[in-house]
Structure 1
């Protein structure tokens, strides 16, 4: 389906942008950690140590983004019907009790990432959810017409599954 490929490309675009930014941040943090000005002036001066922790964290984020990009580049998008159980790569339309509709893409990684869709009929934001997230976990195995109930921080939310692509 073209719409899901558009979503996958949008996810990849955002991940690649995040990757480029993370590389720049990691480079800047590494430079700060090795800069002469970061050298401790006394035993209580932790600027250099803090900069090295930041550089290490930024480098880990670069590696995570490389992995996420590789996974989404190889991701095969499955086709779904109304009778298909929801699983990885499903594009799900949910409706709450106020008849407000939301789009969710069940992805392997990058939960929380938002992609704007400009396609006909499904315009709006699409949120990536993973099976580890409460909503993603509740969606797995459900079908069109089922109800999904999740409890987050003491608040209960109910959704009807309107469509799956």
Structure 2
């Protein structure tokens, strides 16, 4: 396993999510403000600028709310990172597929996030993803399959931290 600590990875993920949250919050506030400006007033029955700006602001608000929940979930995870040899939420896992070894951080949220921690890349995967779901409760040396469409991929758990 890499010389990487899951506490460091979890803090890096939390920092990433907080940055995303702050940016999304700023974009939402700007969008909401723009949708309420006087120059957005309807100039004819086919002028839908204000309506479209309102829809955009609503979608951005939803993203802000989702990121806020993600931040809280990772903060809770950091308080109780798991210990042990079995893969759990909060585990750093090294998996081998097609003679390539990759590193993953298992979480309840933020799946698909790529992190660079101490010069090492890793992928955050959610327990709701195919790999995240199948790897739970496995130990180093275990092999598992993931079906994606017509293809079945075989993975080997190299290490769990």
CA distance in 2 between counterparts of 1:148 and 1:124 reads: 25
Q: Which residue of 1 aligns with 2:8?
A: 6
Query: RMSD across aligned C-alpha pairs, in angstroms?
Result: 1.7
> Does 2:60 align with 1:58?
yes
Q: Which residue of 1 aligns with 2:125?
A: 129
TM-score if structure 2 supplies the norm length? 0.89
SS at match of 1:125: strand
Question: 2:84 pairs with 69, 77, 80, which one?
Answer: 80
Q: How far off its partner does 1:2 sit?
A: 6.7
Deviates more, 1:56-65 or 1:18-27: 56-65
Q: Which residue of 2 aligns with 1:144?
A: 140
User: C-alpha deviations, 1:14-45, integer Å up to 9, x for none?
Assistant: 11110111011101110221122222222222
Q: Which residue of 1 aligns with 2:110?
A: 110
Q: Which residue of 1 aligns with 2:21?
A: 19
Q: How far off its partner does 1:154 sit?
A: 3.3
TM-score if structure 1 supplies the norm length? 0.87
Q: How far off its partner does 1:74 sit?
A: 2.1
Query: Structure 1: which 5+ residue stretches go unaligned?
Result: none
TM superposition outliers: structure 1 runs of 4+ over 4 Å = none
Q: Which residue of 1 aligns with 2:95?
A: 94
SS at match of 2:18: helix
Q: Which residue of 1 aligns with 2:154?
A: 158
Query: Structure 2: which 5+ residue stretches go unaligned?
Result: none
CA distance in 1 between counterparts of 2:7 and 2:105 reads: 11
CA distance in 2 between counterparts of 1:134 and 1:40 reads: 47
CA distance in 1 between counterparts of 2:18 and 2:12 reads: 10
User: C-alpha deviations, 1:110-142, integer Å up to 9, x for none?
Assistant: 111111122xxxx52111111211111111122
CA distance in 2 between counterparts of 1:151 and 1:32 reads: 46
CA distance in 2 between counterparts of 1:154 and 1:23 reads: 41
